[in-house]
Chains A and B, each alone.
Chain A
Amino acid sequence: MIGILIAKFKNFIRNPWTFLIFTGMSLLMAFIFGGTNAQEVYIPISTVDKQIKDSYIGEQLEKEEGINFSWMSEEQLREKIETGKAELGVVLDNNTYQIIVGIDSHNTGLVEQIISRIYYEKQEQEKILTIVGQDETVIEELNHALEQPVFEIESATFRGEGAFIYDNSLHRIFGFSLFFVIYTIAYNVLPILIEKRGGIWDRLILSPVKKSEMYIANLLFSFLTGYFQVLVIFFFFRFVIGVNFYGRFVETILLLIPYVFAIVALAILVTALVKKVQQFNAVLPILAISMAMIGGAYWPIEIVESKILLLLAKINPLTYGLEILKGITVYSYSLQELLLPISILVLMGVVMMGLGIHFMERRHI
């Protein structure tokens, strides 16, 4: 088995083009369509009174996750909006604020809600202060109380229910990686077909090598190249571009495994069902592209409404792969919450691999 793997790796080094092309394509596409200003919504903000930035309001805005409030002058802000570099901007005064909208999106409501909440909190604080006077201990206690509320309040925010969070650049990285890796994996499973037709398998069958070793070596190799490809892409975005994967890079990488496994299984099933390499070349793009479209690699699945497409999405490994990756990062799900898609992928993988090997063995090519 080690011998087969060594031969595969040697072959890979002589002929790394499939791998390089699809890795390059993933990087390029994710880069072009994802943009680089990453995961936070960029909102320029300016103040009428300089002190606001260092006051309670400024502090709260800085704490806000998911939105990057960038301080600048009002002219700069208007220019950003006019040139389309920002969707909207906010001008703050001591007791009022103004939202300037360039492009209306769901972010407008989101920003509005955040700002109004902060102003409301500030007013509440001020009201209390006027009643109790300037007693330092009271202020301290008040702040403490605000941070640790007496009642646990379940807060369903705007970002939580109903609406979905859409992190464009991360979505593109995930989407294109999961899409292009299908090709790399499939083209690494394809040699089984070629070697079967070409007689190399016959040679191996006559040798002391076991059938199981032949399959394991081939599938393991496909898995490793596929996994390696996604790793290269993710490492590039993490450490070169600086996308931080919501601080869960390691988890992201580990939770890729079920998806890569399922795709290896899918590839062997397809390889077993086609008769010729030409058929394989015809089927693969159709399969990969429809999987990407239905599974939400190009656009978020959340905007799809067609019942049929949603049904198809349910049997599409890419849907679950994407769900896991976004779940672990954008939605900060725990492992338990992702157990379902992970199990589905593993199950799909086992079933498809079983069927694939069965068909492969039944048909004497």
Chain B
Amino acid sequence: MIELIDLTKKFKQNFAVKNLNMFIEKGEIVGLLGPNGAGKSTAISMLSSLVEPTSGDVQFENKSILKNPSSFRKIVGMVPQEIALYEDLTAEENLQFFGRIYQLRGKKLSKKVDEVLEQIGLTDRRKDIVKKFSGGMKRRLNIGVAMLHDPEMLIMDEPTVGIDPQSRNYILDTVKRLNAERQMTVLYTSHYMEEVEFLCDRIYIMDKGNLIAAGTKEEIKQIISSEKTVSIKAEILKHDFIQALEENPLINRVTVGEKEVTILVPKDANVFSEVIKLAETNGMELTSVDNKTPTLEDVFLHLTGRALRD
């Protein structure tokens, strides 16, 4: 349905997005994952014809949208990363305003507004001013506004940033439902692994403007099938212990958290005894040593050597 071809955006000397290749089929939920500054927002701004790429192309049904974006704009709903609402107007007035912008009038408009309010669960708060809404409610309305014109495709830029778990679940469920009931195509941007794992059929992972992995959940997890992750927990992590881990030839990568060290080791290696021995020689008490099933987080770690979030 839509395809990005060698899409590149340069700001001055920096590549925000570099040679990005991506496609989205009708009815899919596709995840775009990456840490802050990865270039996710820039990528989807180009995809939705809001920002002109430095080079490359975006094709909708095999036609470039760069010169003539109107046919694509008609079918796309955009949920921006920021809360793009009039804070001094009520939820209902916001929906009416954006509905009118999409040339809905009269009965049709009010019916659509009611329907969207129902979908985002704000029917009983319709007369309240947006400024007084909680973060989660604003986020829901932010999504609602993008659905007024019945888009075939929804592009969501980190729609769950900074909100309570309840609203977050509500939003995730809504996205799943829209996809199931209306075959809505969704491009979902996030730096939360769990969300993308929960929602998406296919996933793209970006870092520093580059695409570093792409495929289905299973395919991506295959990337680290030759390795496994072991989590070592302790109340106090001694520097010598960590250094010893780093120097150990069995261990491929060491990531230090607050009370936890994560190490990547070959799949068949038995590192438990090794780790416990190292702890003992360095006079450290361990709380636990666990094998972890790989998550997308681990994939990211594997590929970049950095955690997805700090």
Cβ of B219 within 8 Å of any chain A Cβ, yes or no, is no
User: A-facing mask of B96-118, CB < 8 A → 1, else 0?
Assistant: 01101111000000000000000
Shortest Cβ distance from A290 into chain B, in angstroms? 32
Give A214's nearest chain B residue, CB to CB.
B101
Give A14's nearest chain B residue, CB to CB.
B88
CB–CB A203/B98 < 8 A: yes
CB–CB A200/B84 < 8 A: yes
Expressed in whole angstroms, the Cα–Cα distance for A199 and B143 within the complex equals 13
Expressed in whole angstroms, the Cα–Cα distance for A208 and B149 within the complex equals 11
Shortest Cβ distance from A111 into chain B, in angstroms? 57
Expressed in whole angstroms, the Cα–Cα distance for A204 and B93 within the complex equals 16
User: B-facing mask of A2-32, CB < 8 A → 1, else 0?
Assistant: 0110110011001100000000000000000
Cβ of B48 within 8 Å of any chain A Cβ, yes or no, is yes
Cβ of B89 within 8 Å of any chain A Cβ, yes or no, is yes
Expressed in whole angstroms, the Cα–Cα distance for A209 and B103 within the complex equals 9
Give B149's nearest chain A residue, CB to CB.
A207
Contact of B101 among A11, A199, A208, A364 (CB under 8 A): A208
> B82 contacts which chain A residues (CB < 8 A)?
197-199
> A10 contacts which chain B residues (CB < 8 A)?
88-89, 93
CB–CB B76/A198 < 8 A: no
Chain A 167-219 residues near chain B, CB threshold 8 A: 195, 197-200, 202-209
Shortest Cβ distance from A5 into chain B, in angstroms? 11
Residue total for A at the interface (Cβ-Cβ under 8 A): 22
Q: A199-B80, A200-B85 are in contact. Are A364 and B48 (CB under 8 A)?
A: no
Expressed in whole angstroms, the Cα–Cα distance for A203 and B145 within the complex equals 9
Shortest Cβ distance from A6 into chain B, in angstroms? 8
> B80 contacts which chain A residues (CB < 8 A)?
198-199, 202-203
Of B76, B100, B146, chain A has the most CB atoms within 10 Å of the CB of B100
Shortest Cβ distance from B139 into chain A, in angstroms? 13
Shortest Cβ distance from B113 into chain A, in angstroms? 14
Give A197's nearest chain B residue, CB to CB.
B82
Q: A7-B86, A197-B82, A198-B84 are in contact. Are A209 and B50 (CB under 8 A)?
A: no
Give B148's nearest chain A residue, CB to CB.
A207
> A6 contacts which chain B residues (CB < 8 A)?
97, 100
Cβ of B255 within 8 Å of any chain A Cβ, yes or no, is no
Chain B 59-93 residues near chain A, CB threshold 8 A: 73-74, 76, 78, 80-86, 88-89, 93
> B83 contacts which chain A residues (CB < 8 A)?
198-199
Expressed in whole angstroms, the Cα–Cα distance for A236 and B78 within the complex equals 47
Cβ of B256 within 8 Å of any chain A Cβ, yes or no, is no
Shortest Cβ distance from A51 into chain B, in angstroms? 70
Give A11's nearest chain B residue, CB to CB.
B88
CB–CB A208/B48 < 8 A: no
CB–CB A364/B84 < 8 A: no
Expressed in whole angstroms, the Cα–Cα distance for A246 and B45 within the complex equals 58
Shortest Cβ distance from B84 into chain A, in angstroms? 3
CB–CB A3/B97 < 8 A: yes
Cβ of B180 within 8 Å of any chain A Cβ, yes or no, is no
CB–CB B84/A7 < 8 A: no
Expressed in whole angstroms, the Cα–Cα distance for A207 and B50 within the complex equals 11
Cβ of B236 within 8 Å of any chain A Cβ, yes or no, is no
> A199 contacts which chain B residues (CB < 8 A)?
80-84
Expressed in whole angstroms, the Cα–Cα distance for A14 and B83 within the complex equals 19
> B85 contacts which chain A residues (CB < 8 A)?
200
CB–CB A202/B89 < 8 A: no
Cβ of B51 within 8 Å of any chain A Cβ, yes or no, is yes
CB–CB A206/B86 < 8 A: no
Contact of B89 among A4, A7, A198, A204 (CB under 8 A): A7
Contact of B78 among A4, A7, A198, A202 (CB under 8 A): A202
> A198 contacts which chain B residues (CB < 8 A)?
80, 82-84
CB–CB B88/A15 < 8 A: yes
CB–CB B50/A206 < 8 A: yes
Expressed in whole angstroms, the Cα–Cα distance for A7 and B49 within the complex equals 25
Expressed in whole angstroms, the Cα–Cα distance for A20 and B145 within the complex equals 32
Give B142's nearest chain A residue, CB to CB.
A199
Give A2's nearest chain B residue, CB to CB.
B100
CB–CB A206/B73 < 8 A: yes
Contact of A205 among B50, B97, B102, B145 (CB under 8 A): B50
Contact of A203 among B49, B78, B93 (CB under 8 A): B78
Of A4, A197, A205, A206, chain B has the most CB atoms within 10 Å of the CB of A206
CB–CB A208/B89 < 8 A: no
Expressed in whole angstroms, the Cα–Cα distance for A15 and B86 within the complex equals 12
Expressed in whole angstroms, the Cα–Cα distance for A95 and B50 within the complex equals 86
Shortest Cβ distance from B216 into chain A, in angstroms? 30
> B98 contacts which chain A residues (CB < 8 A)?
203, 207
Expressed in whole angstroms, the Cα–Cα distance for A208 and B74 within the complex equals 8
Chain B 122-175 residues near chain A, CB threshold 8 A: 129, 145-146, 149
Expressed in whole angstroms, the Cα–Cα distance for A195 and B82 within the complex equals 10
Chain B 204-236 residues near chain A, CB threshold 8 A: none
CB–CB B76/A206 < 8 A: yes
Expressed in whole angstroms, the Cα–Cα distance for A197 and B78 within the complex equals 15
CB–CB A207/B101 < 8 A: yes
> A200 contacts which chain B residues (CB < 8 A)?
84-86
Q: A199-B84, A202-B50 are in contact. Are A7 and B97 (CB under 8 A)?
A: yes
User: B-facing mask of A102-117, CB < 8 A → 1, else 0?
Assistant: 0000000000000000
CB–CB B101/A3 < 8 A: yes
What residues of chain B have their CB less than 8 Å away from a CB belonging to chain A?
Answer: 45, 48-51, 73-74, 76, 78, 80-86, 88-89, 93, 97-98, 100-103, 129, 145-146, 149
Q: A195-B84, A199-B82 are in contact. List 8 more A-B contacts (CB 8 A).
A: A6-B100, A14-B89, A198-B82, A199-B80, A200-B86, A203-B78, A207-B102, A207-B149
Which 7 pairs, one residue from A and one from B, show the smallest C-beta to C-beta distance?
A: A199-B84, A199-B80, A3-B100, A14-B88, A207-B101, A7-B97, A199-B82
Supply 15 A–B pairs (Cβ within 8 Å), ascending by A.
A6-B97, A11-B86, A14-B89, A198-B80, A198-B82, A198-B83, A198-B84, A203-B98, A203-B145, A206-B48, A206-B49, A207-B98, A207-B102, A208-B74, A208-B103
